[in-house]
Amino acid sequence: MERNTFRTIILSAAFLHCISIFPADNYTSYVDPRIGTGGHGHVFYGANVPFGFVQLGPTQHTRGWDWCSGYHHSDSILIGFSHLHLSGTGVGELGDILFLPVNDATINEVTFTHDNERCIPGYYSILLDFPKGGQVKTELTATNRTGFHRYSFSSEIDTARINIDLKRGIGWDKMIYCDIHQLSPRKISGCRLSQGWANKQQVFFVAEFSQDVEMRRLNQDTLTQIVFKNKAPMLVKVGLSSVSCENAELNLKQENPGWDFDSIVTKANQLWNEQLGKIKITTNNPSLKKTFYTSLYHTMVAPSTFCDYNGQYYGADGKIHHGTFNNLTTLSLWDTYRAWHPLSTLIHPEMQNDIAQTMLHIYQEQGKLPVWHLMGCETNCMVGNPAIPVLADMILKGFQVDKSLALEAMKKSAGSDKKAYSLLTEYGYIPYDLLPSNESIGKGMEYAIAYGSADKAFPNEGFKRLADSYIHYFDVHTGFMRARAKNGIWRESFDPFAVELNHIKDYTEGNAWQYIWLAPHDVHGLINLFNGKSRFASKLDSLFIVKGDLGADAPPDITGLIGQYAHGNEPSHHVAYLYNYIGQQWKTAQRVREIMETQYHNGIDGLCGNEDVGQMSAWYVLSSIGIYQADPAGGKYLFGSPLFDEIVINVGNGNTFKIVVTNNNDQNIYIQSVRLNGKKHPYSYINFKDIAEGGVLEMEMGMKPSKFGTKQKYCP
């Protein structure tokens, strides 16, 4: 067969395949997984199912920060297709069990063009040209715990090969031990242990082939080549486990016992469609629809399943446990407690018990609640105690949580920095001169949020002092949160724009302008520090206007700047909604619309910052339907400015919540009036209970600000 003819047939088949599983009303047809693969989005690109353990996709050389997920749109070289990836993190990790189809024993990377790539939810394909002639079409799909490959080599390739690389990972990941064995003419098994962000990661796998293969070791156990006669296509099923090869094989038998590749693609697509259909939007703007459903798709990559079909999982204590719940991993809590978790309580109520049990079991296994948990390991990444707001929010919303154990965990967990926490409990704030690692304000403010949330779930349990500790950082003379010493004196050097000053960092991925507002658990207390709403409003207005230099040492996370508001990083995410607390809901509408229009779009670089495991997209999902939970615990969803004419949310238990928006367009961004279940609703927020029980919310929009949300008695 001639080369160009092979290319035409393959690409046409891929195109027809996409059409066959994408009827016009399928929500997955509005998803473009490429969005966020450029710029600083760091999103996963490949095949997976919602919240699946396996994320099977292309992997490139790690060339810098923008390759944290293992893939960046600017690159044109692949080193293979690995089964585990992260999405939107600021640290590179995973990349385990790397497969690369080749036609020569010496090849360990392949160039490609994006014109030959196709990716839809649950399916990825690419046509690769080999340096010495010949081509292979690679197709990937997945179940929860298994990956499925289909390789079609061009006819001039007589002997085909697949490299299995157990050495290379992504980012910080370093292999410390691996093993591989051929069990039969069509089956191999192996394992990979590594250190990196997750300091003791283990992955076991079993791979089955659709034809007999010969296994050749090229570099001891780290690089193996699977050789076979080219009887295209070659199908490969790979089961993964964090426990054992036996469990990997069990996962494979239970989730993918047959050899029907297309049926697995269809099932994966159906799973995505079911999850995406939990929010149905009506709009005449196809661009907005694409941005919305891709954002919703990004929120469902993680957290990931981290237990086997039989319930076993690798625990935070390094032991194997058996759970009666779906154990989870990839808990980016410093990011996700702000919007992802409030969104999940609305559209994934069935997941909340698994989330709660996962976090409480981690507490029992490692002695504290998770901070940033990955593959059974505590990375201690970021600051504070971000699991506490998540648990508190679930308790306040009435989800099933072991309250006694949750209270015990909240009291005994010292977060990621025991030294900082001990200083906080001793002094009532964290003195910078007693904390060698700095970030005293970043840590102190996050602890205040955590224990402010705990205080709402468990009043009179001693959390109030820690909840109020943020006030000690407020300097009334400058109007900023500032570092202070053990004797109460402010740090002498101060620049509200600088992220670091004289190599000293008081804030965590931010500056003084961004950290003024980090008290979402006690906004009225924060307003009082400014001696009233007028000064608070003036300072808040200034945030979105003032210009200044962040400094040469500013981390790349601080992006998406509007003035000094930084949408590319999480501490700013609630800030636009603070106007609701002071009777200026119309300003929230202005700013939220501006953020949605300038910081999100449906291009390759459509995210202004890294996705942060769904948080960036969760902000957009909530804001675009007109609501946002600024206080991380308690369930008050503040009104913003909805983008769509109608939104229908499946909130579980057979209930739906419909939002009907009249007179909605690009100019009519201001809420004029609201009705809930036919009755006037003057409040500039709605409670979780009202949404979860189902009903109809009607919003009337207009071109000019109205009196809606201006009376203090109707403010949150």
At 528-550, the pLDDT tens digits run 999 999 999 999 999 999 999 99
**How buried is residue 536: exposed, middle or buried, by Cβ count under 10 Å (0-12/13-18/19+)?**
buried
∠ Cα 57 61 64 (to 5°): 110
What percentage of the chain has pLDDT greater than the value 90? 91
Q: How many CA atoms lie within 13 A of 515 on its CB side?
A: 31
Say which DSSP state 33 is in.
T
Other Cβ atoms closer than 10 A to 705 = 18
In the predicted model, what is the mean pLDDT of residues 592-614?
96
Model pTM score: 0.95
Is the pLDDT at 16 greater than 90? The verdict is: no
> Is the bond leading into 131 cis (omega within 30 degrees of zero)?
no
Measured distance CA(31)–CA(8) in Å, rounded: 25
Measured distance CA(316)–CA(70) in Å, rounded: 25
In the sheet that holds 146-153, the strands lie side by side as: 117-120, 123-129, 135-142, 146-153, 234-241, 201-209, 187-195, 174-184
Measured distance CA(470)–CA(474) in Å, rounded: 7
Is the pLDDT at 7 greater than 60? The verdict is: no
Determine contact, residues 46/154, Cβ cutoff 8 Å: no
Report pLDDT digits (tens) over 129-176: 998 889 999 999 999 999 999 999 999 999 999 999 999 999 989 999
| 465: CB partners within 8 A, 6+ apart | 428
Determine contact, residues 316/201, Cβ cutoff 8 Å: no
Q: pLDDT grade, residue 25 (50/70/90)? A: low
| 713: CB partners within 8 A, 6+ apart | none
Report pLDDT digits (tens) over 633-649: 999 999 999 999 999 99
Is the pLDDT at 524 greater than 90? The verdict is: yes
Per-residue pLDDT, 612: 95
Report pLDDT digits (tens) over 311-327: 999 999 999 999 999 99
CA 30 from chain centre, in angstroms, equals: 20
Measured distance CA(348)–CA(640) in Å, rounded: 22
Q: pLDDT grade, residue 107 (50/70/90)? A: confident
Q: Which residue has the tokens 């009376």?
A: 711
H helices, E strands: number in the chain: 18, 36
Measured distance CA(333)–CA(370) in Å, rounded: 8
| End-to-end Cα distance, the chain | 69
Q: pLDDT grade, residue 23 (50/70/90)? A: very low
Measured distance CA(628)–CA(582) in Å, rounded: 16
Per-residue pLDDT, 104: 87
Residues 636-670, buried b or exposed e (16+ Cβ, 10 A)?
Answer: bbbbbbbbbbebbbbbbeeeebebbbeebeeebbb
Is the pLDDT at 20 greater than 80? The verdict is: no
Determine contact, residues 587/641, Cβ cutoff 8 Å: no
Q: 3-class SS at 30?
A: helix
Tell me, letter by letter, the H, E, C secondary structure of 484-498: ECCCCCECCCCCCCC
Measured distance CA(34)–CA(575) in Å, rounded: 29
Q: Which residue has the tokens 């002639």?
A: 133
Residues 256-280, buried b or exposed e (16+ Cβ, 10 A)?
Answer: beeeebeebbbbbbbbbbebbbbbb
